[in-house]
Structures are given as structure tokens and as C-alpha cells.
Structure 1
Amino acid sequence: MPPPKPTILFVAGAFSNFDAFSNFDAYTSTASLLTQAGYDVIPVTLPSVGANPPHADFSGEVSVIQDAAMAPISAGKAVVVVVHSWAGVPGSEAMKGLGKIEREAYGLQGGVVWLVYLAAVVLEVGLNGQSAVGGEPYPWMRLESDNRVYVRDPETLFFDDLDPETRKAMAEKLESHSWGPMVSDATHAAWRSIPSTYLICEKDNCIPAFVQELMTNTPGSLFDVERCAAGHFPTLSMPKFTADVIRKAAGKVV
């Protein structure tokens, strides 16, 4: 009998909801394909999405990811963690002590066996999401006085590779994101200790492909690199390809 398939923890990015009570369905098609392939998929929405008052740092995001991962890990299961966009930062941070190899050293079963970054942010320890621009908002961000951030032109930034009707519908479903997490310094680089896949999205207007390439070339990283012609949400424009990338990563640990 083949070993059980790993559980897939799927973490949505900034401004995005991914749960049963949300109508923001940017991840649904990809997640459904994984479910149909026999994987248990756990969706995670970062608590700083739409938070009012906004969060002061990314500790809440990290805790939510850790708690979601620990549910299958505590049952002795292998977990593949998928992070999109901003979720790459709290997702990496949340992996402290959760890697399968690390847990085995303490005689513990279960753990995170692979990470999948979908056009996601990869940071060195000591940097934060705004370090590249001196702690200021990126031009596409609208930072309000209450420390909530909005996307100025989401149709172009996130959904440019979709048809006009879908672009408009998806842009209207986005929410605010707390500023504090985006200026929280990373203290853990999980992609140095846990095998990882990075999906470069070549038509991404938010994180340009050359920036994604630079991040995957960080010394000491364990990235297998995949590429596609999608924009920032490959889960929307190329759901089957994205699901296949995740399945390929998960298959390496079955």
C-alpha cells in the first residue's frame, strides 16, 4: 500500500480571503483540483486581511499558519505548505520547529516536508517586505492614516492576464491589509532548511519576474524553480498548471 498523501496547507496572500465564508475565489479552482486528486487541502486566510483595527506586526499571521499546520502535524502527518505572494513572509516565519527533519531529531512524528512559493516574497533574515524601498509603501500601495493598506489599481497589478469581466469582479473582492506585518523583520528563512519549489510567474505586474528570479537565487536556498506565463494569480489564470506544480512537489515526499 502506498504511503498517504501529504496534507496541503494553502495560505492566501495579502488582501485576499480563502475560506468557506468568502466570495473571493481566486484559489478555489486550484484547490478543487488538488482535492479531486486526493489531497486534503486546508485553506488559510491571514488575519490581517480586512482587520480593523489593523495588526501592529505579523505575529498574528504567523500564529494562524502555525496553528493550521499543527493540526495535521500533531496527527503525525506530512504537510506541504503553499504560500502565495505576501504569505511567503509569515509562511516562512511560521515554519520554525515544524520541519519534518527537525522534528524527527526530537523523536516527533509529522512535519512540514515541502514548501511551495507561488510568486511569493522570499526574505533574508533581518529584512521586511518594505526594506527594498526604505520602509516606505510601494507605488502601487495606498497607505491610509489608520495603517491599513489598499491596492491602487488591482485590475492591472494582480489580474491583467484575465478577461475584463473577471478582472473587475476579482478586484472588487479584495480587502485592506494591515501595514504592520509588512514592516515586520523576518527572523527565520525556512527555504534554507525545508526543500522548496518556487513558481515564477512571468507576467506578474506586482512582483516582476526578474525580482522573483533574484529571490530564488538567494545563496543557501533549496528552491526547485518552475515557470509559467501567468500574472500574479496563477491560481486563477492557470489553475491546472499551478495544481500540477503543487502535486509535483507533494509527490516528491510521498
Structure 2
Amino acid sequence: MTNSTIVLVHGAFADATGTWNTVADVLIRRGHPVIAVANPLRGLHHDAEYLRTVLATTPGPITLVGHSYGGAVISHAATGLDQVSALVYIAAFAPDEGESAGQLDEKFGGRAQQVTQARPLPGPAPLHGPPHIELSIVPACYREAFAPDTAPDTAAVLAATQRPLALAAMLEPAGPPAWKTLPSYYAISTRDQMIPTAGQREMAERMKATTIDLDAGHAATLSHPGPIADLISTASTV
């Protein structure tokens, strides 16, 4: 058996360091090769194409792991790539073809619209399409909504270092998802406010994913690195 390269993709309102450091530490100590990608968060197709450029120079087989919006990115980016052997979703969006993360957020009743603030993006707004803005979580809401399992000081740092998400990324419809053809795994957060648990279960069930439940909020990678690393290790052993 060979351990595949593990590629970690963060989602909105976080960065690769804040999302993945604890999980990456466990995986690296176990001997796994790990890459934590800086997800641009500019648009689903843009972000997926950027990820594909990383995957093109990464030795296979590859296990792709996505948290939150990062799940939509890995689903889109991995389609048709032979070197990707498995997908792992951590409290993540997994849209079907034609769906957007925003549609799923609306369907499942996540709190993103309630706790985010907008600011304009530079440059001319497009003639068609969504408003030319990006979103970030209001710092005072960050711990409760996004990272309730963390200490207040830790959550304050995460809020200060979060990476905003372009609204267009939430509204772009997905293409054919890779989870229809690849083995999929899903860590469900049972106290998640950003992607409620019932929505996570619905997405995991339609993927026929192997699942684990975590007594965690949305930022489960911070509070449950061991079980998440276990799930990734299982998916990456081919």
C-alpha cells in the first residue's frame, strides 16, 4: 500500500494556516506528504482552476481534502483527473452539477448571511452577475458562528486573519462533481451553524460517503484534528 499525497483546501473566512496546521501536523508525523493550498476565494471556477495547477505538479495518487467552501472547490477541480484517488469533506459543501454553494446555504439555513459584512472589490463591476463585493465574518460573531470550540483569544486571532470570500464564489453553479466517480469521505460536525448538520448529512448521503460524526462546530479541524487525520489517513491509503 502507498500513502497518497494529501492536498488540503481551506474554505471561506479562514486561511490554510488557521484551518489546517493542527491536522497537517498529525498527518506529517505519520509520514504523509502534505500540501496545504492557498485557496484564492475569488470564484468557484477560478479557484478550481488554480487548484488544478497545483495538482498538475503534485505526484499522485492524491487525496483531496476540503473544508467548508473548499469542498465545492475540490468537487469541481478533481473531475477528470486520474491522479486524484479520493475526496474528503470536512463540514463542507458538496454541490451537484448546476448547484451553487449559495443555493445550498439558503436551503440548509446556514448563518453566513446573518454574520457576514460586505466590502466592495476594486475595479469595475461586471455588467452582468452578482454585486462586485467580498464577504467576511463580523469579528464579534466569529467565535460563536464559526469556531465555538476554540478559546476566545484563538478565535480573535482567526477573525483578524480570516480571508474574505468573493460573493461570486458562492453564486457560481458547479460543474459535474468528482464525487460521482471517486470514493468520498465526510466528517460531519454536529454543532455546525455555518453548514447545519442536516445539510451535511444530506450531501454525504447522496455522495454515498463514508462518514464520521464530530461533536464540533464549523471549525472542526481545530478542535478534532485526531479523528479528522484518521479519516484522511483511511482515505489516502491505496
Report the TM range for the smaller structure's normalisation: 0.7 to 0.9
Matching residue of 1:172: 160
1:7 to 5, 18, 24: 5
| 1:26 aligns to 2:23 (yes or no) | no
Is contact 2:137–2:159 with CA below 8 Å preserved after alignment? Answer: no
Is contact 1:196–1:223 with CA below 8 Å preserved after alignment? Answer: yes
Number of matched pairs: 220
Instruction: Return structure 1 stretches of 4+ with deviation > 4 angstroms.
Output: none
Cα distance between partner residues in 2 of 1:60 and 1:126: 16
Amino acid at match of 1:89: A
TM-score by length of 1: 0.81
Cα distance between partner residues in 1 of 2:162 and 2:149: 17
Cα distance between partner residues in 1 of 2:97 and 2:19: 30
Is contact 2:48–2:73 with CA below 8 Å preserved after alignment? Answer: yes
Cα distance between partner residues in 2 of 1:89 and 1:158: 18
Tell me the secondary structure at the aligned position of residue 175 of structure 2: coil
Matching residue of 1:60: 46
Deviation at 1:143, TM superposition (A): 2.9
Deviation at 1:145, TM superposition (A): 4.1
After superposition, the CA RMSD in angstroms is 1.7
| 1:150 aligns to 2:136 (yes or no) | yes
Tell me the secondary structure at the aligned position of residue 185 of structure 2: strand
Cα distance between partner residues in 1 of 2:53 and 2:222: 27
Amino acid at match of 2:22: S
Distance 1:141 1:25, change over 3 A: closer
Matching residue of 2:130: none
Deviates more, 1:157-166 or 1:111-120: 157-166
**CA offsets 1:6-47 (integer angstroms, 9 cap, x no match):** 0001111112222xxxxx433101101101111110111111
Matching residue of 1:236: 222
Alignment map for 1:161-240 (pairs within 5 Å): 161-218=149-206, 221-240=207-226
Distance 1:64 1:154, change over 3 A: same
Q: Percent identity?
A: 26
Amino acid at match of 2:217: G
Tell me the secondary structure at the aligned position of residue 27 of structure 1: helix
Tell me the secondary structure at the aligned position of residue 25 of structure 1: helix
Deviation at 1:142, TM superposition (A): 2.2
Is contact 1:42–1:68 with CA below 8 Å preserved after alignment? Answer: no
Runs of 5+ unmatched residues, structure 2: 122-132
Cα distance between partner residues in 2 of 1:214 and 1:142: 28
Matching residue of 1:140: 115
2:96 to 100, 108, 124: 124
**Of Structure 1 and Structure 2, which has the larger fraction of its residues in helix?**
2
